[in-house]
A = this chain, B = another copy of it.
């Protein structure tokens, strides 16, 4: 099977554009311990991690739910890589929309920024 060395198509994932990211949604997304931990882990150099490698204290479906909330709020970007789904922080875009916000949140979480 031809594999161009790129990501498989998979299903399309909805992402808001940078301009559509709303502060309220971002704050809401970050106001949960599980999601705050996901974000911290991503910021702690674990960019492009598969969902499974987060070892969250919740079930698979709950995990899916939290990643979706983060994605739809515009906090992370996700893409398929084979059978797993990778996530990364949308740092630059968030910095553009809400300068200093993520940095403040991450620092409050004890993440080296």
> At the interface, is chain A mostly helix, strand, loop or mixed?
helix
Within 8 A of B (CB), among A69-104: 97-101, 103-104
CB distance from A10 to the nearest CB of B (A): 31
Copies of this chain: 2
Question: CA–CA, A33 to B25, complex, Å?
Answer: 10
CB distance from A2 to the nearest CB of B (A): 45
Chosen A-B contacts, 21 in total, with CB atoms closer than 8 Å, are A23-B105, A24-B31, A24-B32, A24-B33, A24-B36, A27-B30, A27-B36, A27-B105, A28-B31, A30-B31, A98-B105, A98-B107, A98-B108, A99-B104, A99-B107, A99-B108, A100-B100, A100-B103, A100-B104, A101-B108, A103-B104
